[in-house]
Amino acid sequence: MTREVKLVEVEGNIEDLALELANQLDKGVTLVVRGEPSLVKELLITLRKYGANWLKVVYAPGWDDPERYLKYAKYMSIADKAPYRIKGEKKIKRRILLHRMAKASLDYMDAPIVNKECAALRYCNLCVDSCPEHAIIPEKPVRIDLNKCTECGACINSCPAGFLWPPGFTLYGLSEFLEGVDKLTAAPLPKLDQLKDGAVLRSQERSAPLILILEAESKGKKFAPLDLNLMDPYLEELESLPRGNEPPVEIKRFNNYASREASLLASMLPDKDEWIQLNHLNYFRVEVSDECTLCGACTGVCPSRALRIVKDGDELRLEFSHQQCIGCDACRQICPEKAVTIERALNPHLLRSGEFVEVTRDEIARCRGCGAPLDGTVRMMKNLEERIRKNSGDKYAELVWYCQKCKDKMLFKGLI
Ligand code: SF4
Ligand code: SF4
């Protein structure tokens, strides 16, 4: 495959231009195009009709600027990976069929692109659960079943770390695309009073702010980046949240994407320490039952450092940070005691402040011989004792309550 990049002015008859460019795209040429946004959009749609790799066409009004160009180059290397699929319902004109042959019946697949960093969230299944078409294969990183994906975009918003995004429009590309449109109603997330039915909410790129695009018009043509009716419940939930007027707050979470999203949300809520139940938004509350032995397995596996164990005198405390938690499910799955529950919930104060709150605590166990602290809590020792009793009998079970020194002494005296 060639790595050739060509610059193209979009003008004249779009159908003819698209036919010419489709052949170049077949050869692997990447096209950086410049022209009226509405014409560029028409070109992309036409190329798609022709079964051409429209993902390798990048709208670049600022192609003289090397900085921007580098971003495009990165984007193009992603678009390279998208495959074709057959779309049976396509209507094809005879003229196009003659020029493009079988390719005219193909569609260049624009299923969400998966960032391989997804593998870092070993236990997270949020996108798998969000897909109404069951098109996401739960491997790590996740894979998209191209025959099932309808490009609805639901998964993209479900990823707590922004590891999924559509190849057709990155946020950067989108903002470039929208440059020069006649009318644009766009608002960052806090301006919720502008929400309407069918609004489109996209946080399309890692480290991108949430952008709400309600409507864009260019030369009398409406621009709707993606049909996201599926996002309506998500938006309704946003609308239903209480409003506050707090100063902006900078939140540092799992990655830039999660940080910006949380910062925006925190600054639109009142600073109240109360839990609000959620159904759709990605904010989570982790609770831990009394089965917890404070073994620390969950703290070790949390990619967000949202759980920690703190020593407090003769006790250990397990603490949780609502601000840091991205709901990846790792702690729940790793817990040997099945003590963790996770639910969607939002606490404006905890989100804003980043405070850690106690979720459980227990006393540090002490040696029954000398009183020295043991390596675990009372609940852990009881648990261990119970398990050993089941397998090896009473005599050995009680030994969990003694430190190594006392056990050695007992062995010496023939007590064990
Ligand atoms: S919640 Fe489970 S994994 Fe975490 S410390 Fe408690 S027992 Fe261990
Ligand atoms: S607390 Fe649990 S769900 Fe939240 S980020 Fe950590 S491991 Fe994931």
Atom nearest to 321 CA in ligand 2: 1
Please tell me the residue having the least CA distance from ligand 1 atom 7. 292
| Interval between CA 325 and ligand 2 midpoint (Å) | 5
Say how many residues make up the chain: 416
| Bigger pLDDT: 154 vs 191 | 154
Residue 179 confidence (pLDDT) above 90:
no
In 3D space, the residue among 173, 284, 156 whose CA is nearest the CA of residue 231 turns out to be 156
Tell me how crowded residue 115 is: count the other CB atoms within 10 A of its CB: 17
What is the three-class DSSP state of 358?
A: strand
Per-residue pLDDT reduced to its tens digit, 197-223: 333 333 333 333 334 444 444 445 444
Q: How far apart are CA 371 and CA 402, in angstroms?
A: 9
User: pLDDT for 283-336, tens place per residue?
Assistant: 999 999 999 999 999 999 999 999 999 999 999 999 999 999 999 899 999 999
Of 70-74, 94-98, 102-106, 314-318, the poorest mean pLDDT is in 70-74
What domains can be seen in the chain, in order of their start residue? Answer: 1-109 (no CATH), 277-362 (3.30.70.3270), 367-412 (no CATH)
Q: Which residues contact 144 (CB under 8 A, 6 or more apart)?
A: 111, 112, 114, 135, 136, 137
Residue 174 has pLDDT above 50, yes or no: no
Ligand 1 site-directed mutation target among 288, 307, 332, 381, most atoms within 8 Å of CB: 288
pLDDT over threshold 70, residue 156 = yes
Alpha-carbon gap, residue 79 to 90, rounded angstroms: 22
- Reported as a pLDDT band with limits 50, 70 and 90, residue 66 is low
Quote the CA–CA distance of 347 and 352 in Å, as a whole number: 9
d(CA 107, CA 89): 11
- For 341-385, the pLDDT digits (tens) are 999 999 999 999 999 999 999 999 999 999 999 999 999 999 999
Cα 121 to averaged position of ligand 2 atoms, centre (Å): 10
CB 108 within 8 A of CB 54: yes
> What confidence tier does 416 reach under pLDDT thresholds 50, 70, 90?
low
What count of other Cβ atoms lies within 10 Å of the Cβ of residue 363?
Answer: 14
pLDDT band at residue 68 using 50, 70 and 90 as cut-offs: low
- As a whole number of angstroms, the distance between CA 60 and CA 71 comes to 10
The structure tokens 């596996």 sit at 301
Q: Any residues with Cβ below 6 Å from ligand 1, and which?
A: 288, 292-298, 318, 334-335, 337, 339-340
pTM, 2 dp = 0.71
How does the average pLDDT of the chain come out, rounded? 78
* Burial environment of residue 134 by CB neighbours within 10 A (0 to 12, 13 to 18, 19 or more): exposed
- The ligand whose atoms approach the alpha carbon of 330 most closely is 2
The confidence score (pLDDT) of residue 14 equals 94
Give percent above pLDDT 90 in the chain: 33
